[in-house]
Amino acid sequence: MKKHSVYALIYVIFPLIIIIFVISSFFTPVKMSIEDEQITLTVPQCSTTILKYKDISNIKICSNLNVGKKEKGVNDGKYYAGYFSNEEYNSYFAFIHCNVNKYIIITSNNYTYVINDTTIKKTEDLYENIVTYSK
């Protein structure tokens, strides 16, 4: 009887756990929440990242970015989201809509975050709001 329990664990329960984890990772939405004191970035396969305005030490906006290589996260043609690396920022956290060529570069607690919104105008407005909140 004990032998059947081990087989059930190995061949049924363990694969089900893996399948559930994989499916939930792929169907977790990429999400950015703008709040009064922080920006919350939710990315599949990454822990939720909270960027507090009071911790921002530098912020700039630009139109050119070499996204670089994905380390962990999403690169699905719609988003670059998660941990990436390139020559300019080394390791950084991205939350980028691929079809928007305007980027907000934020340094907080000695780490770089690159974000944008769904349009260039919304990205510029978001930049202005973050500058205002981070003062």
Report the chain (135 residues): mean pLDDT per 10 consecutive residues. 58 58 54 88 86 94 96 91 95 96 95 96 95 86
Q: Are 105 and 62 in contact (CB under 8 A)?
A: yes
Q: Residue 44: CB partners within 8 Å, gap ≥ 6?
A: 25, 26, 27, 28, 29, 30, 73, 74, 81, 82
**Which residues make Cβ contacts (< 8 Å) with residue 41, sequence separation at least 6?**
31, 32, 48, 49, 50, 51, 81, 93, 95, 113, 115
Closest to 134 measured CA to CA, from 119, 113, 47, 102: 113
Predicted pLDDT of residue 9: 55
pLDDT number for residue 133: 86
Q: Which pLDDT belongs to residue 12?
A: 60
Give me the pLDDT at residue 106, please.
96
Question: Residue 102's pLDDT is what?
Answer: 98
Question: E strand or H helix at 130, and its extent?
Answer: helix 120-133
> What pTM, to 2 d.p., does this model score?
0.79
3-state class of 36 per DSSP? coil
